[in-house]
Chains A and B, each alone.
Chain A
């Protein structure tokens, strides 16, 4: 498999960022900070991998933050109000996420809505539904009750791999959160899916040239529907990890997370003009974003400034993506002449 140059550049840039903060930020290169990075950004990486699918088809999904809240609240209600067993809750949560995503796809394919508008509308709708079904409003007494089902809280587990291997004496390793391994597993499955299956290749074809894909007999509508369903599914997984970590869900869960996920995907080389990208890039992009934010925190830079910096990073990534597109078009035009 040939590795794109952009991917190598991203890895190098990630390594440089880590090295830089290790030098200038106190306590950056510590096992506890690495635990923070893995624990705090694995779910962003999962969201970013999911977001990669709509973007690959030349769309976008703004509703994933709202889907996180929706799935979170479903888990809260099922567990605390209806006392449903945890394994059932897990299955229902994933189904709710995938269905919410599929509904986005249905609006885009069926009603031919712009993805931006369709998912902006569902963002508002899903957030509204969260308040309507919120167990915190329906049964106020439960507000302070933590979710204790082991199937869910078990997702927030740490593994002392260093201790198990006995390497702690010469190389102290951080404790690895389960969410990190969930992220790795999804990365593996989704990568193989994108690169090796027919449906995966069709996703690239639809984003690269929708008309060519249609004329090649690809059911473009079904592919787009699938891309949004996968995005919703990934949001559901992220929601489960978040709820496990907080042992509760709030109405504001996942607020603004779509922006971090889109930023990570674009930083990771998924082109907003469709048809270019991977899921490895977005995952690494999420950790790059995480490393920068954690590093800035350790340097004592305030939250507001960090938001400005996140915005600037997104602008830079999108600007670079446009630059690449224009260069590609120029080169094509030059080839024709």
Chain B
């Protein structure tokens, strides 16, 4: 039998980052294949290659045995590849009907949209799949669950032969997950090929036939779901090396609550529609990790702690004094440093040099009258480059020419020269290679030893288990649990993270 879709030897290189490495994927008619891996494993890149949203550096894609042109979304759609994206891809002010037929409305002569046929086809489709939707409602007015249904309808209306689903159940309630799985069974019976991406192992064991596991941009294992079990899958996902490392990390002494001195204390902190009732203490000399799924509002929470966003209710104390920062300036004055998630967009001046970036947060201390003392800045930069072991050790090099890991070290180093009392980092090792990861951990541990309070947001469960003294789990804008890291297992944390989805 010919595979519905078959990708062979797919690679994608961004600058000096190898996002996808010689990956193969195959799905047969009537097969539901799970695609799994931790964050940054290359799943989304692979999906984008298959939908034509990006052009791979090398490799081929065949659909029903026919070689497809790469990097052409329209051609992929025409050949029957549909995708339900993780983040809604809808035009919010247009109607449900318009969104379902976005870009490929049936037309009569002169390019007029055949509205009658469009409505008839949509109604048939709704009926066939027992989905209830108001075709004339504006998509932006619908609850998120309904928006997901619109996306599914959009794929179904394509008469797709292959449907890619990128974490389709994020935000869906359990009854709706079941409904989606029924729909998938029906599609399968009609001979479609489905690639199903999810973090929730329960879903994979419930609905998928086969699975493909990715790590660090490469496919590392393929198997039938029936021939494997959860522990085996988890081990493959995180890898022997990380499993070994986390075993070593377990030997590291944990310092829950550090010195016992409260640095930052949130009580019932709320921001309407974002997070709710957050109560959390951060102590000097500890590393506290906040983990959870993407969209659980961790980033929004730490941005608020840093004064970048405001909160509506509750109290926030730093060193026992109530604070309400109007802007990051206030938080910086209190000794808080913040390393944002997207270092290119929010953190670094890419065209400026390493030294200039390192001095960014501390320019005031290099002042001589109204002018800046350049040699002092250069000296401090050299020292920082050495202690952070930034490669290559050249202060005059523009930051954009550094590797991701070294860029991240510059970003962290920017705050270290201030000797921050509180250091907040949002996903500090995303897109960072293994060696640099270990060095960033070393730097953070050192900060902890000299008495800083460190708060890390991370989706990478291995990272959390490796570095945290305490672990807070966030689900849908609430902190559902806080554990001492040496008193909790990885599986327990995973269960709590996925709690809201099952």
Chain A residues within CB distance 8 Å of chain B? 2, 196-202, 204-205, 207-209, 211-219, 271, 275-276, 328, 330-337
Contact = CB atoms under 8 A, between A and B. Distances in A.
Nearest to B142: A335
A335 B111 CA distance: 36
Interface string B40-59: 00000000000101000000
A320 to B, nearest CB: 16
A197 B113 contact: yes
A205 B101 CA distance: 10
Contacts of A335: 142-144
Nearest to B272: A334
Contacts of A275: 91-94
Interface in B30-80: 51, 53, 73-74, 77-78
A333 B143 CA distance: 10
Q: Which 3 pairs show the lowest CB-CB distances between chains A and B?
A: A208-B91, A216-B103, A217-B74
B90 A212 contact: yes
Interface residues of B, number: 41
Contacts of A197: 107, 110-113
Nearest to A330: B273
Contacts of A333: 273-274
Contacts of A214: 53, 73
Contact of B89 (A2, A211, A328): A211
A274 to B, nearest CB: 9
17 contacts: A196-B112, A197-B110, A197-B113, A199-B111, A202-B103, A205-B94, A207-B91, A208-B93, A209-B90, A213-B102, A214-B73, A215-B85, A216-B102, A216-B103, A276-B93, A332-B140, A337-B477
B118 to A, nearest CB: 10
B113 A201 contact: yes
A217 B103 contact: yes
A207 B274 CA distance: 27
A328 B113 contact: no
Given A217-B73, A335-B143, A336-B144, A201 B98 contact: yes
B501 to A, nearest CB: 14
Nearest to B141: A331
Given A216-B103, A332-B92, A337 B98 contact: no
A336 B144 CA distance: 6
A212 B104 CA distance: 13
Interface of B: 51, 53, 73-74, 77-78, 83, 85, 89-94, 98, 101-105, 107, 110-113, 115, 136, 140-144, 171, 272-274, 276, 295, 297, 476-477
Nearest to A2: B136
A6 B272 CA distance: 28
Contacts of A218: 102-103
Contacts of B90: 209, 212
B53 A215 contact: yes
Contacts of B98: 201, 204-205
B112 A337 contact: no
Which of A209, A219, A328, A330 is the most central at the interface, judged by chain B CB atoms within 10 Å of its CB? A209
B91 A212 contact: yes
B86 to A, nearest CB: 12
Contacts of A276: 93
Contacts of A328: 92, 140
Of A198, A218, A276, A334, most buried by chain B (CB within 10 Å of CB) is A198
Nearest to B145: A335
Nearest to A333: B273
A81 B50 CA distance: 60
Contact of A205 (B51, B83, B102, B272): B102
A195 to B, nearest CB: 9
Contacts of B91: 204-205, 207-209, 212-213, 275
Contact of A196 (B93, B115, B144, B272): B115
B89 A209 contact: yes
A208 B92 contact: yes
Given A215-B51, A275-B91, A328-B92, A198 B107 contact: yes
A212 B89 contact: yes
Given A208-B91, A208-B92, A212-B90, A201 B105 contact: yes
Nearest to A274: B93
Contacts of A209: 89-92
A212 B136 contact: no
A7 to B, nearest CB: 14
A200 B113 CA distance: 9
A242 B91 CA distance: 38
Residue among B85, B93, B103 with the highest chain A CB neighbour number at 10 A: B103
Contacts of A212: 89-91, 102
Given A200-B113, A208-B93, A330-B273, 16 more contacts: A196-B113, A197-B107, A198-B111, A198-B113, A201-B94, A201-B102, A205-B94, A208-B91, A215-B53, A217-B104, A218-B102, A219-B74, A332-B92, A335-B142, A336-B144, A337-B476
A326 to B, nearest CB: 12
Nearest to A207: B91
B299 to A, nearest CB: 14
Nearest to A336: B144
Contacts of A336: 144, 171, 273, 295
Nearest to B110: A197
Contacts of B111: 197-199
Nearest to A337: B273
Of B73, B85, B102, B143, most buried by chain A (CB within 10 Å of CB) is: B102
Contacts of B140: 328, 331-332
B74 to A, nearest CB: 3
B419 to A, nearest CB: 37
A66 B94 CA distance: 33
A196 B108 CA distance: 10
A133 to B, nearest CB: 36
A200 B105 CA distance: 11
A275 to B, nearest CB: 5
A215 B102 CA distance: 10
B93 A334 contact: no
